[in-house]
Amino acid sequence: MIWNRILALEELNKVNDNTLARHLGIVITEVGEDFIRASMPVDHRTRQPMGLLHGGASVVLSETIGSIAGVLIIEDMSKETIVGVEINANHLKSVSSGYVHSITKPIRIGRRIQVWNTEIYNDGDELICVSKLTTMRVKRS
C-alpha cells in the first residue's frame, strides 16, 4: 500500500466541505492499495452552456482527487502539505447526463514531486478524459 495514512471515506469526503469540490458534487467512493476512485454528477453545476460536461469540471475532479492522494502519502501533516504545480487534460468524449467516475493512480511518487494520472469514464465505462497532475510537497509555515 502506498498510503501513509488511511481515513474512512466519510472523513475523506468531509475534507471537501465548503470547497469547490463539494459544490460540484465530487464524492470519493473507494480507496485501494494504490488508487482512489471518485464520482461527479453531470448536471447544472458541471455542464457548460452547450449542455455537455465542462472540461474545467473534469480538471477540478482530477486536481481534487490527485491532491487528496498526495496528502495521504505525507507522513506528518503538521510539517508538510501538497500544492499543485501543473495539470493537463485530454477530453476524449462528451457527456451530457448521469455521472462520471474517475480513478487516480500515481505515475511517480518522489521525495518532493508526485505525478498522478486520472482517467475519467462515463456511466457506460467509456473513457472520456485523461488528466495528469503534478504536485509538490512543501513545508508548512
CA angle (35 as vertex; 32, 40 as ends), nearest 5: 105
Q: Which helix (H) or strand (E) holds 11?
A: helix 9-14
Residue 31, number of CB atoms within 10 A of its CB: 20
Strand boundaries in 1-141, DSSP class E = 27-31, 36-41, 80-91, 99-109, 113-121, 127-139
What is the set of active-site residues?
63
- Measured in Å, how far apart are the chain's first and last C-alpha atoms? 29
